[in-house]
Amino acid sequence: MKGNSEAPDQDPVLRYKESIESLNIVMNDVKKKNQEKTEQFIIFDCSRLKVSLLEYGTDFIQQIFYHLIKESKDELYALINEFSNTIENLNNPVHDIEYLKKRQYILVETRAKLPVLDAKREPIVKKFRYI
C-alpha cells in the first residue's frame, strides 16, 4: 500500500476505505451467523471461532489504520523536510554575487515547484481528514 504508485486524480484513501468496508461486511456476516450448528445428532458450538474471527477482523482494521497513519506521517515529514531544506538554503547569508545568483536560481526553481508541492500536500490532507 504505497501512496506514490497511485494515479494523480485517485482518492489517496480509497484503498484503505475499500479494505475497511470489505472487512466490515465480512465481520457483519460473521456476527449474523448462528453460534451453533446441528448435524444429525451432533451440535457444533462455534462461539469461540466466531469471537476469534471478529477479534482478527478488528485487529486487521486497526492495522490498516496504523499503516495509513504511518504512511501519512512519513509523507508529511518528507514534505516538511523538503520545505525546511529549501528555506534553510534560501536563508543563508550572501557572501558574494555568485552565491546570490545561485540562490536566485533556487528561488525561481522553488516557485516553479510550488504546484508540485501543493499536489503532494493534498493527498496528505485527505488522509489526515479520513483518520
DSSP assignment of 49-75 equals HHHHHHHHHHHHHHHHHHHHHHHHHHH
Judge whether 4 lies within some domain.
no
Judge whether 1 lies within some domain.
no
Judge whether 21 lies within some domain.
yes
Judge whether 98 lies within some domain.
yes
Percentage of residues in the chain having pLDDT higher than 90 = 37
Tell me what pLDDT residue 2 has.
Answer: 44
Judge whether 30 lies within some domain.
yes
Task: Please state, in angstroms and rounded to a whole number, the distance separating the CA atoms of residues 37 and 69.
Answer: 41
Q: How many domains in the chain?
A: 1
Cell of 85: 531544506
Judge whether 92 lies within some domain.
yes
Tell me what pLDDT residue 129 has.
Answer: 87
Judge whether 5 lies within some domain.
no
Expressed as residue numbers, the domain containing 79 is 11-130
Task: Please state, in angstroms and rounded to a whole number, the distance separating the CA atoms of residues 101 and 60.
Answer: 54
Task: Please state, in angstroms and rounded to a whole number, the distance separating the CA atoms of residues 62 and 74.
Answer: 18
Q: pLDDT by residue (tens digit) across 82-117?
A: 888 888 877 878 788 887 888 888 888 888 888 888
Contacts of residue 36, defined as CB under 8 A and 6 or more positions apart, other chains included, come to: 43, 44, 45, 46, 47
Tell me what pLDDT residue 58 has.
Answer: 95
